[in-house]
Amino acid sequence: MYTQALDLPNPDGDSAGNANVVAMNARSEPHSDALQASFDAKVDADEKIEPRDWMPDAYRKTLVRQISQHAHSEIVGMLPEGNWISRAPSLKRKAILIAKVQDEGGHGLYLYSAAETLGTSRDQMLDALHSGKAKYSSIFNYPTLNWADVGVIGWLVDGAAIMNQIPLCRCSYGPYARAMIRVCKEESFHQRQGYEALLVMMQGNEAQKTMVQDAVNRWWWKCLAMFGPPDANSPHSAQGMRWGIKRISNDDLRQKFIDATVPQANVLGISLPDPQLKWNEERGHYDHGEIDWDEFWATVNGNGPCNKERLATRVKAWNDGEWVRDAAIAHARKQAQRDLKEAA
Ligand code: 3HC
């Protein structure tokens, strides 16, 4: 249901396109040297690959993996901040936070739609999320303990997301690249609202300044880990770069993020919790300390502080929403029947 992939080639598909999608998944691409050469030439020439173009099975699979993980991250990412909507300190902050959380839901929708153009249904992707098989970003498995966390998520988490996602606007797969353009514009607003909320808190009393510093201390290292494992331990990077899906490596993006964020922290008047953080004149970058990769992998593999809670909340939302989906489908069927009658 809800698939965008209604034009996939299978006349036996149901009205929602489900069988079409399953058939598309099951099919293996016909392969020939000429098809491969034409695909490679397009990628080399920086042209976009579109849904109807021939593509290698592994390219399709990699995109479905990455785009669906990304979509899941957006909708699970609504939860830590959603917790604060009813506790926002003013009407203005509440309105901003509602808009931001709603934007994240929208990003999930664009991304699920982009993944559907590759022949995987939204039901399949959500099934993988709800059964715990699919990954989503490690960062959303940490708790939001006070209001400053909401500002820090905007500044650092969305800031890291933008750094990672701007290069994806140039990704070789057309629907993903185009979705990312709008996502990045909205993420930019998210980052700015977070930074502005923190600037206001930093002009407040000592308790407010302490809250900001505490939140930064808790989130800094987790945000650096968001960019993924070091390049040397990143199994998908080399092929992702070759295919033009990834444009900048995990470590290079992490470095860009650190270099951009240190001056912002100085303006804010907070310190970053890394004694080894130091400008290296020779490299033209900040040196930094070691990330705790054991903690990162434990979280990615389901054992972070909030993994179980996040998944349970998603599953409950899916189950509670069943009547809405049923009603939407019944309405669409009625509408289609009415349109048919009028056309006859
Ligand atoms: N959290 C969870 N898993 C992660 C991760 C993270 N921060 N970083 C890497 N991984 C996983 C990968 O998914 C992969 O797992 P798999 O083989 O089971 O699929 C494994 O670790 C190895 O990592 P690689 O570096 O080899 O994998 P990739 O080449 O896919 O690179 C990535 C990882 C940089 C996250 C890349 O997939 C990517 O750019 N994805 C798109 C952006 C995205 O998903 N961002 C998530 C945050 S979205 C967000 O924050 C919402 C915003 O509103 C704040």
Q: Which residues line ligand 1 (CB under 6 A)?
A: 65-66, 69-70, 73-74, 77, 104, 135, 137-138, 157-158, 161, 164-165, 226-229, 234-237, 240, 246, 250, 300
Q: Judge whether 208 and 165 are in contact, CB under 8 Å.
A: no
| pLDDT per residue as tens digits for the range 183-213 | 999 999 999 999 999 999 999 999 999 999 9
pLDDT at 344: 82
39 CA distance to ligand 1 middle (Å): 25
| Half-sphere exposure at residue 230, Cβ-oriented, CA atoms within 13 angstroms | 7
5 CA distance to ligand 1 middle (Å): 25
The mean pLDDT value for 124-136 works out to: 96
Share of the chain above pLDDT 90, in %: 90
228 CA distance to ligand 1 middle (Å): 6
**Mean pLDDT score of the chain, rounded to an integer?**
92
pLDDT at 20: 40
Q: Judge whether 225 and 291 are in contact, CB under 8 Å.
A: yes
- Start-to-end CA distance of the chain, whole Å, equals 27
pLDDT at 29: 65
The mean pLDDT value for 150-179 works out to: 97
Which residue's CA is the closest to the ligand 1 atom numbered 44?
70
Residue 156: name the closest of 183, 185, 195, 182 by CA. 195
The mean pLDDT value for 135-161 works out to: 97
| pLDDT per residue as tens digits for the range 222-259 | 999 999 999 999 999 999 999 999 999 999 999 999 99
| pLDDT per residue as tens digits for the range 79-92 | 999 999 999 999 99
The mean pLDDT value for 89-107 works out to: 97
Residue 64's pLDDT band, with cuts at 50, 70 and 90, is very high
pLDDT at 21: 41
| pLDDT per residue as tens digits for the range 269-295 | 999 999 999 999 999 999 999 999 999
66 CA distance to ligand 1 middle (Å): 7
Which residue's CA is the closest to the ligand 1 atom numbered 28?
236
The mean pLDDT value for 62-84 works out to: 97
| pLDDT per residue as tens digits for the range 303-335 | 999 999 999 999 999 999 999 999 999 999 999
pLDDT at 31: 77
Which residue's CA is the closest to the ligand 1 atom numbered 42?
70
* DSSP annotation of 47: P
Encoded tokens for 162 = 């933008």
Specify the residue for token string 């303006």.
267
- State which of 109, 135, 185 you would mutate to test the pocket of ligand 1, scoring each by most atoms of that ligand within 8 A of its C-beta: 135
pLDDT at 28: 59
In angstroms, rounded to a whole number, what is the distance separating the alpha carbons of residues 190 and 48? 28
Share of the chain above pLDDT 70, in %: 92
